[in-house]
Amino acid sequence: MTRLFLVRHGPTHAKGMVGWTDLPADLSDTAALDRLSAHLPDDALVISSDLQRCTATADAIARGRRRLPHDPDLREIHFGAWEMRQFDEVHAEDPDHISAFWQNPGLVTPPQGESWHQMRARSDAAIDRLIAAHTGADLVVVAHFGMILGQVERALCIPTTEAFARRIDNLSVTELTHTTGGWTVGQVNHRP
C-alpha cells in the first residue's frame, strides 16, 4: 500500500492560464503552511514539480522529511500560446478552439501546448514511477491543479468533464491510496 498526499502549491495570484510559466508562490500564510505540514505523515517522502511555486511550497512544508529530486513530469498542463492569457482574450481570437478545449477536454491541444490526455499520460507515468520506486511509503507530491485533478480522475475512473467540476484549492491535500487491487480515494481538496 502506497499513500499519496497530493498538495497543491501556494497561490500565485496570476489571473491567466498558468501552466509551465515559472511563477513564484505566495507563501506568506505561515499558519496555513504549519497546519498543512502537521497534517502530513512525519516519515513521508516529499517530491514536487520542478516549477518554483511547487519547489518552494515543498520546501516550506518538508520540515525534516526526506526530499526527492524535483520531477518535471509532475508539471501542470502546458497551455502553449495561451500561457498567461485570460480566457476572454483567447476567446476573442479563436472562440471555437478554446471553447472545445474546455468543453470537450481530452484531445484538444492549445497551440504549441499539450492536451489533457497528454498531460495525464505524462503525470500518470511519473506517479507510477514513484509508486514503483517507493512501494509502501507515504509520498507527499506537491504539484498543480490539473495534475492533481488528473490523478483524482484516474483513481475514481470518472470522465474528464466530471473531474473538471471539482475544486483543488491552493495548499489543499488530496489523499489517494494505491494497492495491488487498485486505487482508493480519501479526502479531496482538504484544507487542514
Summarised one tens digit per residue, pLDDT across range 138-177 is: 999 999 999 999 999 999 999 998 998 899 999 999 999 9
pLDDT of residue 124: 98
- Whether the pLDDT of residue 103 is over 90: the answer is no
Q: List domains and CATH numbers for the chain.
A: 2-185 (3.40.50.1240)
pLDDT of residue 165: 87
- 18-71 pLDDT, tens digit per residue, is 999 999 999 999 999 999 999 999 999 999 999 999 999 999 999 999 999 999
The one-letter amino acid code at 70 reads: H
* 117 and 125 Cβ atoms separated by less than 8 Å: no
pLDDT of residue 75: 98
- Residue identified by cell 507563501 is 27
**CA 108, 169, 187, 1 torsion-angle sign:** positive
68: nearest Cα among 110, 108, 126, 120? 126
For residues 5-14, average pLDDT? 97
For residues 90-119, average pLDDT? 92
- Widest Cα–Cα separation across the chain: 50
- Whether the pLDDT of residue 183 is over 90: the answer is yes
Distance (Å) of CA 152 to CA 78, 160, 173, 179, 185: 19, 10, 12, 15, 8
Residues forming beta bridges with residue 45, ordered by sequence position: 139
> What stretches of the chain adopt beta strand conformation (E)?
2-8, 45-48, 138-143, 173-179, 182-185
Distance (Å) of CA 21 to CA 12, 24, 44, 137, 184: 11, 10, 28, 31, 32
* 67 and 58 Cβ atoms separated by less than 8 Å: yes
Distance (Å) of CA 43 to CA 69, 84, 97, 134: 17, 37, 45, 13
Say which range, 70-74, 91-95, 137-141, 174-178, has the weakest mean pLDDT.
91-95
Percent of the chain with pLDDT over 70: 100
The pTM for the full model equals: 0.95
Average pLDDT, the chain: 96
Residues forming beta bridges with residue 4, ordered by sequence position: 139, 176
For residue 72, give the C-alpha cell: 518535471
